[in-house]
Amino acid sequence: MSTTFSECPKCHALNKLASDKALQKTPVCGKCGSELALHGLVSEVNSSNFKKVILKAEGPVVVDFWASWCGPCRSYAPEYQKASLQNQQAVFLKINTEAEQQISAEYGIRGIPCTILFRNGKEVKRQSGAMSAEQVKQFIS
């Protein structure tokens, strides 16, 4: 069974969700019952939950470092979301580099969008620039 993670916007609990169930209905927090924000199977993360997710995930974790002012980031977003739906064995995350400057600095993000693949909590590869959903699939394998 494939899973993804989402932090509750209300109580900040980290929720592990079955991917198929998250797609069938609106997922809710297991702690407080609030609606969880997912875009496809993509979750926005921050400094408080990013490392928790990459350490808890059983499979690959794909992270898109982006910013709202970045044109290529905006064009990449729908392809990234599409890739999340086609590759449910992976966890898909997004990190806003404007809001999370510490994480961006820690991972040496110099250009965006930048996609990093993690396995077992460790970075295994990265790709700068926008990709198609098919290119994201190849990037994961």
Provide the annotated active-site residues.
70, 73
Choose among 66, 54, 79, 73: nearest CA to 4. 54
* Calpha distance 66→115 (Å, rounded): 9
Q: Is 129:72 a contact under the CB 8 Å cutoff?
A: yes
- β-strand 91-96 against 114-119: which pairing, if any? unpaired
DSSP three-state, residue 138: helix
